[in-house]
Chains A and B, each alone.
Chain A
């Protein structure tokens, strides 16, 4: 039996080993995890740059911006290098790594600065010929730990896209090309260019942001007639408009010259003048007022009908297309047209407490209704069914998972967030620790002071005091049970001698 159980458990373990049950806080998302021995990208890049330094170190002592070109290539190289595991990569010059950590750091900075401008530079460099740096290097470098594939042509080298796995490959190929003397001039010019670029970058002002574009803003809206007080204020304050007398004379002359209704034209002109002359302040009303504009002008009172035609009744019972193919004009009729003059809307004033109270949704009325239902016992099943139906009619299935979760939380099936570890232990907070621990007080009165029973009960008390999961009432109940038990067995205990008879 035991053996069978053991076998079963072993089998289970085998099955379960197919599944990894991780504790929640260690749970790992199912994603492509890198192998354990993979180094971080920055480390790889650093190692590569350092390696490159060693190669070029014997010629180039000072920091050159051209080194950043190589860095750029290296950056691209590293993308391919990352794919190849570390063992296959050319291991080079690890001893010298420590000596020049600063250089690599500076290089990196320069590289970052140059990053955006690289393509142009490289193109220029390519036009001149080979990259001067590589040529300079090829003299010194004798040992190349990498593979000796010689596939690359000159053109491929200059183009940054077709970059090989290891930088040393390029250097190998470069060996074969044109002599060093020509390259020196080119190198100098390239260097100069780079230098200039860098200086310009360093000294360049921040890119000028486009100045604030002046957008057309709508005119200030006329405020609605506010409260009575505001209206009063408005009327009290006369709008001060100082128009020069010359202008007034000019308006009169203009009006007379125009002919027609002289007074109206004059008033219009004066009103416009007033608009321009009045001083605008925040407190006062805006200068432009509709009333001023309409001074003297007549308002059209012809009510226009809306131009939109009512949709004609579509006949759905007829399948065939009865209407002939519509022409352009008819199509235009179908489109919704903008009305010439929109009908002015007047919002009706709503008074909430004008009419009498309907008394429909009173709490009192609802209670009365509930009480009014007669509880007859003749048809209990039907009543239950009716009640159930009412419940069903009110409760709706959840729209989505969120409402479902809300429901579950209310029912207590789902934890409330943020997680409260002491859910259900609100009452326990009010109980002090002394009530849990000092339980010997309950032994007073009935428990003998010495003997096996006292010993036993003290052990019981210590055990209970250490139990955090029980309530105080339950602990006291335990002790009470023992009290009752020993009270029943008192005679037997006296016979044995567990209890002292003389007390």
Chain B
């Protein structure tokens, strides 16, 4: 049951995950977890977020160049208008402002501690178990 469900969370689109011959193998000779568990995301929303980030990375070069044309007082306004249209034509996912940070372990959208990319609850848990370097219960 768990194995079959877990297979749903692997994405074929994102090629970075190493999997053999393009599909999950359920082999009789080996254990249940044939692919590494680290590549499984906790949430579908997390997967969408990952896709958005990929798009941001792809269009980053073009977006920054066009935005530089837009956000200055030297370029004539005609060119600026054209640039505005151009950037609007780019996919919405490629915008950085569309990104919404999530907790890496629980996919929680709110209450994040940015430096560790964790939600406050997970952060607290890890800190209490001494897994966060340099983090200590404060008392003074």
Contacts and interface: CB of A to CB of B under 8 A. Distances in A.
Interface of A: 8, 12, 15-24, 27-28, 30, 380-381, 384-385, 388-389, 392, 452-453, 455-456, 459-460, 477-478, 481-482, 485, 489, 492-493, 496, 498
B76 A459 contact: no
Contact of A15 (B65, B69, B120): B120
Given A19-B136, A24-B134, A478 B65 contact: yes
A158 B69 CA distance: 93
A12 B133 CA distance: 20
Contact of B79 (A24, A384, A481, A489): A489
A15 B124 contact: yes
B110 interface: yes
Interface stretch (B7-15, B23-31, B42-50, B96-104): B23-31
B123 to A, nearest CB: 8
A17 B139 CA distance: 9
Given A24-B133, A496-B76, A19 B138 contact: yes
B29 A385 contact: yes
B136 A22 contact: yes
Contact of B65 (A20, A30, A482): A482
Interface string B82-114: 100000000000000000000000000011010
A23 B136 contact: no
B135 A21 contact: yes
Contacts of B79: 489, 492-493, 496, 498
B75 interface: yes
B20 interface: yes
Given A12-B120, A452-B76, A456-B72, A392 B30 contact: yes
Contacts of B140: 20
Nearest to A498: B76
A460 to B, nearest CB: 7
Contact of B20 (A30, A388, A481): A388
A30 B82 CA distance: 60
B39 interface: no
A23 B134 contact: yes
A8 B111 CA distance: 7
Contacts of A496: 76, 78-79
A381 B124 CA distance: 45
Contacts of B75: 452-453, 456
The listed residue with most A CB atoms (<10 A of its CB), out of B25, B61, B79, B111, is B79
Contacts of B139: 20
A20 B134 CA distance: 9
Q: Please name the 6 residue pairs, one residue from A and one from B, whose CB atoms are nearest each other, closest first.
A: A20-B138, A452-B74, A456-B74, A27-B134, A496-B76, A455-B74
B65 A17 contact: no
Contacts of B110: 8
B32 interface: no
B65 A485 contact: yes
Interface in B25-78: 25, 27, 29-30, 61-62, 65, 68-69, 72, 74-76, 78
User: What is the interface of chain A mostly: helix, strand, loop, or mixed?
Assistant: helix
Interface residues on B, range: 20 to 34
A453 B74 CA distance: 8
B25 A381 contact: yes
Nearest to A380: B21
A16 B113 contact: yes
Contacts of A485: 65, 69
Contacts of B30: 388-389, 392
Given A12-B113, A20-B137, A496-B76, 12 more contacts: A15-B120, A19-B137, A20-B138, A20-B139, A23-B134, A28-B136, A384-B21, A385-B29, A455-B74, A459-B74, A478-B65, A481-B61
A388 B27 contact: yes
Interface string B110-133: 110100000010001001000001
Contacts of A8: 110-111
A240 B109 CA distance: 99
B120 A20 contact: no
Given A15-B120, A23-B134, A381 B21 contact: yes
21 contacts: A8-B111, A19-B124, A19-B137, A21-B134, A21-B135, A27-B134, A27-B136, A30-B136, A385-B27, A385-B29, A389-B30, A455-B74, A456-B72, A477-B61, A481-B62, A481-B65, A492-B78, A492-B82, A493-B76, A493-B79, A496-B78
